[in-house]
Amino acid sequence: MDLTAALATHRLVAIVRGDDPDAALHTVLALVEEGVDLVEVSLSGKDALSVIERARHALGPDRPLGVGTVLTAEDARAAHSAGADFAVTPGLGDGIGAARELGMPVLAGVLTPTEIIAAQAMGVAALKIFPIAQSGGAAYLKALRGPFPDTPFVPVGGVDEAVARACLAAGALAVGVGSPLVGDAAEGGSITALRERARLFRTLVAEATP
């Protein structure tokens, strides 16, 4: 898949992690049903590979499905076998090279200019600025865009509605949103409330300046 193009089109990545695999699966499917087309299942959640495998079966072969918290080459290989077709990392680990060898585009976690340069040299599709809310928010993103004006940045970490709006206005390609969107749905909480939040975030990103 062309992850950079998908990020530019949809502008939102939902991050699902939880201790209830069935609830996590239902969360993934509900998000997709509400039009959140880019969803990553974090490997830090319980039985995440099983969630990915079951989600892939339910979604079919053509829907994007990501895996998050990819740290090692084995993480990338296991997630690819389970059905993930793009990878998200918290930093610059061995999982990036392995994912790319498997044909999985990577949204790689970075924070500093040095890490941005290193990630670009590794051929990643886009750069996850993490954790954005704890590192200066939209002002920090705007500062990074000075030396890196055309770099596809995706802020993640503490991205609520206000941070999402500010980062998109500051030039983010997309935003990654975890608990402010998913809430407790992946722990067995309300799917109805999840759907409402999904519609809210979809409207937010649709109204953001391209």
- Integer Cα distance of 188 and 180 in angstroms: 16
Going through the chain in order, the beta strands assigned E by DSSP cover: 12-16, 39-42, 66-68, 86-88, 106-110, 126-129, 153-155, 175-177
Domain 3-207 has CATH 3.20.20.70: yes
Q: What would the two tokens of residue 133 be?
A: 């809310």
User: What pLDDT was estimated at residue 21?
Assistant: 98
pLDDT of residue 14: 98
Q: Catalytic residue positions? A: 40, 128
Per-residue pLDDT tens digits for 131-153: 999 999 999 999 999 999 999 99
Domain residue limits, the chain: 3-207
Q: What is the pTM of this model?
A: 0.97
pLDDT above 90 as % of the chain: 99
What confidence category does residue 209 fall into, taking pLDDT thresholds of 50, 70 and 90?
Answer: confident
Average pLDDT for 161-177: 97
Tell me the β-bridge partners of 88. Answer: 107
Angle at 167 between CA 203 and CA 62, to 5 degrees: 55
The pLDDT tens digits for 103-141 are: 999 999 999 999 999 999 999 999 999 999 999 999 999
pLDDT in tens, 4-21: 999 999 999 999 999 999
> What is the reported pLDDT for 69?
98
pLDDT at 167 exceeding the cut of 90: yes
Q: What is the pLDDT of residue 179?
A: 97
